[in-house]
Structure 1
Amino acid sequence: MNDITGWLIAIVIISLYFAILLFLKKRDLFERYNLSFYGPLLMWKTKKGKEFIRKIAKPKKFWNGFAMIGIVISFIAMFFMLWLLVENLSLLQHVPKKELQNLPGINMVIALPVINPILPVGYTIVGLAIAIVVHEFSHGIQCVLGKIKIKNLGIIAFIVPIGAFVEPDEDELKNADSKRRMKVFAAGPTMNLFVSFLCVIMVSFVLFPSVQPSDGAVVFYVIEDSPAHEIGMKSWQVITEIDGREIKDYNDFYSVMHNTTAGENISISYHSLDGKYYTKYVVLADKYNFTNESKDAGIGFLGVGITDVLERDLELFKNPFEESPKDFLIRYYGAPFMGFFVGYSPLKEPFTSYYKIEGVFSFLPSEVFWSIVNTFYWIFWLNFAVGLFNVLPIIPFDGGYILQDGVKEGIKRLTRKITEERREKIVKVIMTAISIMTLFLVLAPLILKYLAMLLFS
């Protein structure tokens, strides 16, 4: 889907959304069901649920400890995100100017299915709902512990529910000490990151141990006018046998092919990931004709590139914490982006067909097993996104308020002699500067993309 198609779909969906809201408004259904319309957002408020939050908050020592750890985690995640944004911007300096227009567009930033093409509708709704509920309930729990009144609970929607909220009494929150406020703000993103961690455990250490690679060498590409091209071989087909010799993996393929000769007539058995099987005969070319390297003269050449990416991704999903944080983000969290831009994703059909389900979960049909995997993966993905995005030091995000209280406490200790009013002004200037800088880092790739489109399209 190109940017123009994405925008057209978005415009149609948003237009329908507003038409439905206007219809409901004219029928006086807003007042009846405590609905409010704030610009493009639909808000529903209720008093129900406050008692439930009070019950959850009863193990006070646990939640107090969770919140204190949460403050530390929030600061670590905040500085990690800032480093990542700076690193990303520095990498963009090396991208050719014309290539900048191929960067992800704004539709890839919006966490709404259909508008964002990488987000599967069903899994996204489940993942977002869980992310929003645990985030806001965590804020509510800390309000109860901090003796800050909860006025309302509610849901915010834009086409689909995009947020839930616990509305504290603003005056009580403002008058609370910095420690209590930081606990309230840190609780939400920390809970999101905690849920995402639990889902990684579920995916990688409970479900994926039952996943094993199938035998065969996976074709990554087919060279034009090669023997493989002539018999109709395609990318992502799996070679299982060459001239009666079993091919179990990447290494077997190259070992067998190295012992063939140019002009040799061989049989080759292979299958597509969708389950179609083939056995064909092919006359091998001379490898030298394709590589121009003297050492390849006389060696048989089929004309395919073999990849072990499916095995490597399987190892990644089984051992996610062996990667550096950056590689974890690129490969584990970034798997859906790879699926969109490269056309390959280890969690989607037909690529999941390459794997065998053995062990504890072998009794499950393949479709059911991969649905469970994807459910937990997308709960991880969306909680991780919500958690990291919310710790960004931008007012009014949680991270902005956490840093604001941290800066305020630091200035109070360093400058005891200045007035409270003067201190507030200094904090405001610092936070405004940090918020603008962070917002620029977030938006920079989009700005560069659309500038490149204007200049080079």
Structure 2
Amino acid sequence: MNYNDIFLIILIVFSWIIIIIPLAPAINKSKHFATMGPALMIRSTKNGGVLDAVAKHLPAKSLGKISTVLVVFGGLLAFGMLLYEAVLLTIIHIPTSAAPPLQDYLALPLINPFIPLGYGTASLVFAVVIHEMFHGIVARKHGIKVNSVGALFFIIPIGAFVEPDEKEIMAADPVVRRRIIAAGPGINLIIAAICIVLLVFVMMPASTPIHSGVYVDNSTTLYSGHAIPKGMEITSYGNLSGKQLNNLETTSMITPGLANITLFNGKTETNGSVPTGVAIVDLISGCPAAAANVSTDSIIYNISDAGHSHIIYNINTLGDVLDNITPGTTINMTVLTFHTGKTVPAYTTYTMKTVSTYHYYAKNDPTANKAAYKDESFIGVQIDYSGIGYESIDSLHSLVFGGQLVGPNFYETLGLPLLGLSPIPASLSHMFSTPFNSYIFFGITNTLYWFFWIDFLLGIMNALPLSILDGGQFFRDTLTIASRRDRLKFLRDENNVKKIYYAMGIFVFLLLMYIIIAPRII
């Protein structure tokens, strides 16, 4: 999105606000219109029949019961995720410069840069509308009057609302009221589950990788004309191909220098040559390599000590060599540097005295230090392999279709938008064969993912025990219902219920504030 687009969006939003606010008193006198801040509410009192008709043909009471279980699960999951993130922030120091921008915490199109306008808006509107509708449907199934339903606009439709009769719903049995409240986040979680099942069991098997290489998601130019373009698939590298490329940086035995490579752009394969080996991308200040003025954007060819020369084939080789050199040893390190227009690299040898890995961690990260590091050498180079970052195409195939949601990659699946993998880039989607038109197929795939993403987050966040969310009243009614057990009869005292309810709400609120504020001040 360019600056002109941003300026136009700001202009439209500002114009809407300055028109709505002065007109708010007149709008609020209308029977069918009202304002909620800068948003416009369009009410209808004649749509109750629609809710009745839907409620009549749906097992809404059973849905309310199922939703109660889902909200408990969703609330615990959301609470656990918040705790986990708070603990991580406490253990792992994040520089204030790396703190996420505040807009990243809001799952709203136009505001959050990771949420696409089209998929994001459609998914959000659907999720909010279905959420509110099911509050009303379950309320009608239990005989609770719905005073009005309507749409919520802020330039575009951003959702819907249902207004059950407040007196009737507050007079209802807490068990019934809890089912009505749970129906909103419950249906969101059900839809999220349906979408992820369709992604994993229908869309993923219907597409297959054309090759089994590796997808380049990051690339550094080691010398002009020989960088591996981002968004390409490496199908062969030297004498390696297919799944052999999955651990290229740790198992390659290709001699450092130039290597033949085959790249696939989704349509055709091209052959070329690229610098290969352990690339030095940066130097750590105060360490031996920096003191020796080692050239960055170069490749380590070999390391020699006491007459023994070791060719550095991969990252593991470099680690093994340094681990077996006594700290304080003088070594020679030869690197390859590639210059524009040259096909033969320049060889440069640097002399330096190693320090211990223990010394480095003692100064920079004491909590990660180990006694064994005292016998391992350290030179202070930041490295990667051949200036590329890559992922197995088979692994990406599973990831972008939600196949890794269960297990250690749970956060990676949720974080696909942050990784730039949803909507799935055209450069990646072209790496797969599909049963029909690729654009339509991946359009459906992206839609299912964003329906899952928005509904899942809306469902679990609404399950949190905060007074402004459905989970607040749900938690309070749960305490009231629990008081019917003799062993929990202390909850029959409304003051005890209030104390627990407010304490939990404050704790969750403080967790949220800690997650937002901590990276900016610690």
Is TM more than 0.5 here?
A: yes
Structure 1 distance, partners of 2:131, 2:401, is: 28
Structure 1 distance, partners of 2:490, 2:432, is: 68
Query: Is residue 61 of structure 2 the alignment partner of residue 47 of structure 1?
Result: no
Closer, same or farther in 2 for the Cα pair 1:348/1:428, shift >3 Å?
Answer: same
Listed as ranges, the matches of 1:37-436 within 5 Å are 37-59=35-57, 62-96=59-93, 99-215=95-211, 216-222=213-219, 225=222, 231-241=226-236, 247-251=241-245, 254=248, 258=252, 260-261=254-255, 267-272=260-265, 278-281=270-273, 289-290=300-301, 292=303, 297=311, 303-305=386-388, 307-317=390-400, 320=403, 323-324=406-407, 327-328=409-410, 330-339=411-420, 345=421, 347-358=423-434, 362-364=435-437, 366-414=438-486, 423-436=493-506
Closer, same or farther in 2 for the Cα pair 1:286/1:186, shift >3 Å?
Answer: closer
Deviation at 1:414, TM superposition (A): 4.2
**TM-score, length-normalised on structure 1?**
0.80
**TM-score, length-normalised on structure 2?**
0.71
Deviation at 1:394, TM superposition (A): 0.6
Closer, same or farther in 2 for the Cα pair 1:197/1:138, shift >3 Å?
Answer: same
Which residue is 2:293 aligned to? none
Q: Supply the AA of the counterpart residue of 2:191.
A: V
Closer, same or farther in 2 for the Cα pair 1:283/1:114, shift >3 Å?
Answer: closer
Closer, same or farther in 2 for the Cα pair 1:416/1:312, shift >3 Å?
Answer: closer
> What is the total number of aligned residue pairs between the two structures?
429
Deviation at 1:315, TM superposition (A): 2.2
Which residue is 1:17 aligned to? 16
Cα pair 2:207 2:432 within 8 Å, conserved: yes
Q: Supply the AA of the counterpart residue of 1:95.
A: I
Which structure has the highest helix share of the two?
Answer: 1
Closer, same or farther in 2 for the Cα pair 1:295/1:306, shift >3 Å?
Answer: farther
Secondary structure of the residue that 1:289 maps to in structure 2? strand
Which residue is 1:455 aligned to? none
Cα pair 1:14 1:159 within 8 Å, conserved: yes
Secondary structure of the residue that 2:228 maps to in structure 1? coil
Closer, same or farther in 2 for the Cα pair 1:128/1:303, shift >3 Å?
Answer: closer
Closer, same or farther in 2 for the Cα pair 1:267/1:63, shift >3 Å?
Answer: same
CA deviation vs aligned residue, 1:262-303 (integer Å, no higher than 9, x gap): 66x764332446x68643356877998346487962869993
Is there any run of 5+ residues in structure 2 with no aligned partner, and where? 280-298, 315-335, 337-384
Which structure has the highest strand share of the two?
Answer: 2
Closer, same or farther in 2 for the Cα pair 1:153/1:240, shift >3 Å?
Answer: same
Cα pair 1:47 1:153 within 8 Å, conserved: yes
Q: Supply the AA of the counterpart residue of 1:15.
A: F
Cα pair 2:219 2:229 within 8 Å, conserved: yes
Deviation at 1:401, TM superposition (A): 0.8
Deviation at 1:319, TM superposition (A): 6.5
CA deviation vs aligned residue, 1:294-338 (integer Å, no higher than 9, x gap): 7962869993546334321322355637722x632x122221122
Structure 1 distance, partners of 2:107, 2:402, is: 27
RMSD: 3.8
Cα pair 1:36 1:43 within 8 Å, conserved: yes
Which residue is 1:342 aligned to? none
Is there any run of 5+ residues in structure 1 with no aligned partner, and where? 340-344, 453-457
Percent identity of equivalent pairs: 25
